C-alpha cells in the first residue's frame, strides 16, 4: 500500500506475524502504520547477555538486542524504551523451562 496517511507515518505490509516470516499470500490484510523520518535518524542500540553456569565448565549465554531509529533529540527516551524492551524480553519472553533446567 505504502500510502502516506499523515505527516511522519505511512502504512506498509507486515513481514512477520506471531514470530514467523509471512508468505505473500498471508501478507494480504496485515498492514501496520510505521514512522517516517523528516531528517536522517540516529540509531540507538541496546544489547544484554545473561550467562547461566551449566556446570562441567559449560555455560549458556542468552543475548537479546535491538537497534531503533530515532531523532537525535530523542535518543535518551529511545534508549530508555530499548532498555525496557530488552529487559522484558530476557525476563518474560524467554521460555521459563530454560531457567528451570538451569536452577533459576
Residues 24-36: tens digit of each pLDDT: 666 666 788 888 8
Cα separation, 14 vs 98, in Å, equals 30
Calculate the average pLDDT of the chain: 78
By CB atoms closer than 10 A (0-12, 13-18, 19+), residue 44 is buried
| Whether pLDDT at 17 is above 50 | yes
- pLDDT value of position 84: 92
- What the block records as the C-alpha cell of 21 is 516470516
DSSP-assigned letter for residue 14: -
Amino acid at each position: 500500500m505504502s500510502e502516506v496517511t499523515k505527516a511522519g507515518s505511512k502504512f506498509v505490509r507486515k513481514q512477520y506475524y506471531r514470530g514467523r516470516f509471512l508468505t505473500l499470500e498471508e501478507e494480504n490484510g496485515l498492514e501496520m502504520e510505521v514512522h517516517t523520518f523528516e531528517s536522517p535518524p540516529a540509531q540507538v542500540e541496546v544489547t544484554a547477555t545473561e550467562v547461566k553456569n551449566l556446570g562441567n565448565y559449560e555455560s549458556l549465554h542468552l543475548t537479546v538486542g535491538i537497534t531503533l531509529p530515532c531523532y537525535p533529540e530523542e535518543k535518551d527516551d529511545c534508549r530508555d524504551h530499548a532498555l525496557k524492551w530488552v529487559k522484558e524480553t530476557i525476563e518474560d519472553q524467554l521460555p521459563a523451562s530454560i531457567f528451570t533446567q538451569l536452577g533459576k
